[in-house]
Amino acid sequence: MAINWTEAQIEQIVASVMKGLKADAPISKCEYNGEGYNGKKYIGVYSDMNDAIDAAEQGYKAIRAMSLEEREKVISIIRDLCRKEAHIMAELGVSETKMGRVDHKTAKHMLVADKTPGTSDIQAQVKTGDYGLTLTEMAPFGVVGSITPSTNPSETVICNSIGMIAAGNGVVFNPHPNAIATSNYAVDLINRASAMAGGPRVLVSSVIKPTLDTANIMYKDPRIKLLVCTGGPGVVKSVLSSGKKAIGAGAGNPPVIVDDTADIKKAGKDIIDGCTFDNNLPCIAEKEVFAFNNIADELIDAMKANGAYLITREQADKLASIVLVEKTNPKTGIKSKIVNRDCVGRDARVLLEKIGINVCDKIRCIICETDFNHDFVQHELMMPILPIVRVKNIDEAIDLAVKAEHGNRHTAHMHSKNIDNLTRFARAVETTIFVKNAPSYAGIGFGGEGHTTFTIAGPTGEGITSAKSFTRLRRCVLSESFRII
Ligand code: COA
């Protein structure tokens, strides 16, 4: 698990992946026929959620019967297949959801294959004393019901599967309705790995047409002991109010502070690299910048030197009226703005075309100077659009950045060499992830220390989830014996 990628290595991975892509026939469009795609029938995907739960329960029984070594064998083949088929899933994901970038999605699959913890994450604890020995073990919950998103679809299915299988659970997935082909491709991949390792043909399962109704069947079925939800605010809320033990990974709106002690050139590059990763789909990605006034011009120049295109306030307002749309709540009649689904995860070039600006492919991010109340600051867009708000000092920066994060306690970033400023912001913002002097993706192990996940459970507190998050603790006490000292 100790993989410390340097920037040069990351670029090398992306370059080799792109080379591989050219060699393979492109998937020009997603031909999902419900049961499979491009003529291939998926294994473990059912038309009825009840059948999918039956299958996941059988999978759970099979996992329970496996030794840790056998589980690890399945996981190791999942990792191999994930690496080999990363570009297929990346192309399928972009083709189906119309969001993100193939090269970055491929790199995200590599990250999942390399840095999702397996069975080594499951550690027993022992306490001995005058009264004997007490053993605490991390046990599986049983069958887990997992709700997965459209933003990182196959990445989440594979990452969840590795962690849940390592912990000894069975899994049934209810993928996002806009990413069914990609998510179920990943379900099929897990089942192929199981069969190759000598395990059952169906280890994890899913449904052909997931909806909120199929999700509700999953919530209510007594065989589902744990719900894990990675998604938008609506679906996370529905899981957390299901009455079952649930792990929720939801929205963020990560702010970035840049003070006048930072390496400004590096900060400009890091912020653009993080903000544009998979066109801003990862929920950890930089969403708005608070820059000290005395370095803001230099920071903007550094961003422009790294593929950012600066638009005027008028152009920003015009773009905001396109990328956000008004929605009326049918129950309350209250109007609010939501992101325009057709703009989420799109290339900067495509978004600029919408306001009549034509640029080359080298432009990967749209930047603009705004005030704090601008829609770009207040709404999590998940697009390569980055508003920059000038601030006088660290007090104002922290005050506004905390407000912009809206109490999600998800992720925040800072570029600074001032330890006091870094510490003050980290304490004030209380986020699950706090990245200092690096692109946001360092926070999920891409060029940073630590394991990876696409299920960042802020609301329920598990944080950067891994196998141990999907376990329940069990205690076994042996009285007055087995202490050997
Ligand atoms: N299964 C079934 N239904 C699902 C679902 C799933 N896995 N995921 C979402 N839905 C439902 C939602 O509840 C919603 O239903 P409603 O219209 O009745 O309220 C509907 O599908 C559309 O959901 P949503 O994803 O919110 O809308 P969208 O497709 O227009 O939005 C995004 C797209 C990208 C903006 C949105 O999905 C989002 O915010 N994603 C963030 C995901 C994420 O990665 N979060 C966790 C980070 S740790």
Tell me the pLDDT tens digit for each residue of 352-390: 999 999 999 999 999 999 999 999 999 999 999 999 999
Q: Is 46 domain-assigned? A: yes
* Pair 155, 43 in one domain: yes
* Pair 373, 422 in one domain: yes
Cβ–ligand 1 distance for 174 under 6 Å, the answer: yes
pLDDT tens digits along 148-193: 999 999 999 999 999 999 999 999 999 999 999 999 999 999 999 9
State which of 96, 147, 150 you would mutate to test the pocket of ligand 1, scoring each by most atoms of that ligand within 8 A of its C-beta: 150
Side-chain half-sphere exposure of 70, counting CA atoms within 13 A: 12
* Pair 192, 334 in one domain: no
Q: Is 3 domain-assigned? A: no
pLDDT tens digits along 436-450: 999 999 999 999 999
Cβ–ligand 1 distance for 176 under 6 Å, the answer: yes
Q: Kindly report the CA angle at 296 between 293 and 298, in degrees rounded to 5? A: 135
Q: Which atom of ligand 1 is nearest to the CA of 339?
A: 35
Q: Which atom of ligand 1 is nearest to the CA of 283?
A: 47
CATH number at residue 328: 3.40.309.10
CA-proximal residue: ligand 1, atom 16 (nearest): 234
Q: Is 170 domain-assigned? A: yes
Q: Is 177 domain-assigned? A: yes
Cβ–ligand 1 distance for 230 under 6 Å, the answer: yes
Q: Is 2 domain-assigned? A: no
* Strand-strand pairing, 335-339 and 324-328: antiparallel
pLDDT tens digits along 321-343: 999 999 998 888 899 999 999 99
Domain that holds residue 82: 9-250+462-476
CATH number at residue 137: 3.40.605.10
Q: Which atom of ligand 1 is nearest to the CA of 345?
A: 34
Q: How far is the CA of 272 from the centre of ligand 1 (A)?
A: 26
Cβ–ligand 1 distance for 151 under 6 Å, the answer: yes
Per-residue pLDDT tens digits of the chain, which is 485 residues long: 444 555 665 555 555 444 443 333 344 455 666 677 767 789 999 999 999 999 999 999 999 999 999 999 999 999 999 999 999 999 999 999 999 999 999 999 999 999 999 999 999 999 999 999 999 999 999 999 999 999 999 999 999 999 999 999 999 999 999 999 999 999 999 999 999 999 999 999 999 999 999 999 999 999 999 999 999 988 999 999 999 999 999 989 999 999 999 999 999 999 999 999 999 999 999 999 999 999 999 999 999 999 999 999 999 999 999 999 999 988 888 999 999 999 999 999 999 999 999 999 999 999 999 999 999 999 999 999 999 999 999 999 999 999 999 999 999 999 999 999 999 999 999 999 999 999 999 999 999 999 999 999 999 999 999 999 999 999 999 998 888 88
CA-proximal residue: ligand 1, atom 25 (nearest): 232
Cβ–ligand 1 distance for 344 under 6 Å, the answer: yes
State which of 99, 178, 219, 235 you would mutate to test the pocket of ligand 1, scoring each by most atoms of that ligand within 8 A of its C-beta: 235
* Pair 240, 349 in one domain: no
* Pair 221, 359 in one domain: no
Cβ–ligand 1 distance for 148 under 6 Å, the answer: yes
Q: Is 457 domain-assigned? A: no
Cβ–ligand 1 distance for 249 under 6 Å, the answer: yes
Q: How far is the CA of 236 from the centre of ligand 1 (A)?
A: 9
CA-proximal residue: ligand 1, atom 36 (nearest): 232
* Pair 316, 395 in one domain: yes
Compute how many other C-beta atoms are within 10 angstroms of the C-beta atom of residue 69: 8
Q: How far is the CA of 234 from the centre of ligand 1 (A)?
A: 7
* Pair 292, 224 in one domain: no
Please give the pLDDT value at position 40.
75
pLDDT tens digits along 21-34: 333 334 445 566 66
* Pair 269, 238 in one domain: no
* Pair 300, 219 in one domain: no
CA-proximal residue: ligand 1, atom 8 (nearest): 176
Q: Is 214 domain-assigned? A: yes
User: Domain total for the chain?
Assistant: 2
How would you write the chain as a 3-class SS string? CCCCCCHHHHHHHHHHHHHHHHHCCCCCCCCECCCEECCEECCCEECCHHHHHHHHHHHHHHHHHCCHHHHHHHHHHHHHHHHHCHHHHHHHHHHHHCCCCHHHHHHHHHHHHHHCCCHHHCCCEEEEECCEEEEEEEEECCEEEEEECCCCHHHHHHHHHHHHHHCCCEEEEEECCCCHHHHHHHHHHHHHHHHHCCCCCCCEEEECCCCHHHHHHHHHCCCEEEEEEECCHHHHHHHHCCCCCEEEECCCCCEEEECCCCCHHHHHHHHHHHHHHHHHCCCCCCCEEEEEHHHHHHHHHHHHCCCEEEECHHHHHHHHHHHEEEEECCCCCCEEEEECHHHCCCCHHHHHHCCCCCCCCCCCEEEEECCCCCHHHHCCCCCCEEEEEEECCHHHHHHHHHHHCCCCCCEEEEECCCHHHHHHHHHHHCCCEEEECCCHHHHHCCCCCCCCCCCEECCCCCEECCHHHHEEEEEEEEECCCCCC
CA-proximal residue: ligand 1, atom 23 (nearest): 232
Cβ–ligand 1 distance for 177 under 6 Å, the answer: yes
Q: Which atom of ligand 1 is nearest to the CA of 235?
A: 13
* Pair 265, 185 in one domain: no
* Pair 137, 276 in one domain: no
Cβ–ligand 1 distance for 368 under 6 Å, the answer: no
Cβ–ligand 1 distance for 212 under 6 Å, the answer: yes
Cβ–ligand 1 distance for 432 under 6 Å, the answer: no
Q: Which atom of ligand 1 is nearest to the CA of 150?
A: 37
Q: Is 470 domain-assigned? A: yes
Are 234 and 341 in contact by the 8 Å Cβ rule? The answer is no
* Pair 446, 338 in one domain: yes
Q: Which atom of ligand 1 is nearest to the CA of 281?
A: 44
